Amino acid sequence: MDALDILTDLDNVIPFFQAIFSADEHTVIGYEILGRYQINGSFESLGPFFMDEEIPEEYKQEVDNVVLTKALDKALELDKDVMLFINRDAGLLMQDDGESFLQMLLSYEEKGMALSRIVLEISERNYKGQSDHLDHLLVYYRTYGIKIAIDKMGNDSGYLDRIGELAPDIFKIDLSALRSTSTSHTYQNVLYSLSMLARKIGATLLFENIEMVYQLQFAWKNGGRFYQGYYLHYPEEQFVDRKLQKETLRKEFHEFISYEKKKLSVIFEFTENLQTNIQELLARHKKYNDYEELLKYLSDDLSHVAFRMYVCDEDGFQKSDNIFKENSHWVLQPEYKDKNWSWRPYFLENIIKMRNEKKGILSDLYSDIETGETVRTYSFPLNNQDYLFIDLSYNFLDQMGVLIN
């Protein structure tokens, strides 16, 4: 695809629209505008044109404006609540301090296009200017109601540095790397962390490049409100019916909900049984001289369940040695005594919860720092001050069917 061929044939530069679906209504809530070039009866993506660093920026800006103008002309026919997602490279946008882009949008506002429907997907991939200048522009755009989205989350960690500065309205998370259930647990945890961060700052999650049902389920489970990808619909020259996937998504989400409820029921039953077993063991071993002796008693009964146990007080100070299973034998690790674990996420929150409810708590899945294994921890109140912590082994969790988040 030759750049000059495109520039001298702008009539065949056209917008395509990729539908974005919502979790709450299962309908199309917006469209991402994509550039295409019609040649020999087929449509070629303009992505390579915009990515080519050899092509002058003014050429790219001219083609970008053609695509956007034609897209906005067509978008005037849409329902008034449909959003338009517009991609803009930060470098191109800042050539004239973003003024031409804003003026174009304002001209369409006069035709009835509310700027609150515009979502600007900003890419800083090749931006070499000052970040604070770009930030000031985006803040200015926001005064017109324009929303800001950070693009390519999930495949470029550099964007994490900008989240606090930009405070985007939308996180756009790329699920390309999540193409199978064998994708690393660590990668899934990173995406989960992004979803938690979005929740903390009040941003909406949009998951893109969804190409299979497993990715859609992951997006739904991790707080995705908006979804986009070939699994749902390919980009088209025309706007699709907003209810195109309504019944399909309703059925898919019903399956997700049923699976999640069954999984939670399994975990609840597992936790209740564990609670009963620990209570019975502690009732049997009432007499002990110190916590190390108690842990030795428990290790005999929990050898198939746990690989580490210890006792902490309510402030997180360890009151016992670790007892650790090493090569099928339990060994005491006195070096852990008096360490403090209150810095761990949810530690104090769980202590208060156990103290008030007088029952144990099962953690979510996490990777153990020392062994690297995927584990869960079961914690249980021994009395009003001290708490037993039992790190459950991967094999045991797998056998019990609770090796799931």
- Domains along the chain? 3-232 (3.20.20.450), 260-400 (3.30.450.20)
> What is the reported pLDDT for 154?
45
Mean pLDDT, residues 261-274 taken together? 95
Is the CA virtual torsion 23, 26, 30, 36 positive or negative?
A: positive
Structure confidence at residue 150 as a pLDDT band (50, 70, 90): confident
Please tell me the distance from the alpha carbon of residue 217 to that of residue 269, in angstroms, as a whole number: 24
* Average pLDDT over all residues of the chain: 91
Name the pTM for this structure.
Answer: 0.87
Q: What is the pLDDT of residues 229-248, one digit of tens each?
A: 999 999 999 999 999 999 99
With b for 16 or more beta-carbon neighbours within 10 A and e for fewer, the 205-229 pattern comes to bbbbbbeeebbbbbbbebbbbbbbb
The closest alpha carbon to 33, from 61, 71, 69, belongs to 71
> What is the reported pLDDT for 180?
63
Please tell me the distance from the alpha carbon of residue 99 to that of residue 96, in angstroms, as a whole number: 6
Please tell me the distance from the alpha carbon of residue 286 to that of residue 279, in angstroms, as a whole number: 11
Whether 398 shows a pLDDT value over 50: the answer reads yes
Contacts of residues 160-168 at CB distance under 8 Å and 24 or more positions apart, as own/partner, are 162/124, 162/131, 163/197, 163/201, 165/131, 165/135, 166/122, 166/135, 166/138, 167/201, 167/203, 168/203
Please tell me the distance from the alpha carbon of residue 18 to that of residue 32, in angstroms, as a whole number: 5
Two tokens, residue 225? 């409100």
List residues bridging with 333 in a β-sheet: 322
Q: What is the pLDDT of residues 288-303, one digit of tens each?
A: 999 999 999 999 999 9
The closest alpha carbon to 290, from 380, 391, 386, belongs to 386
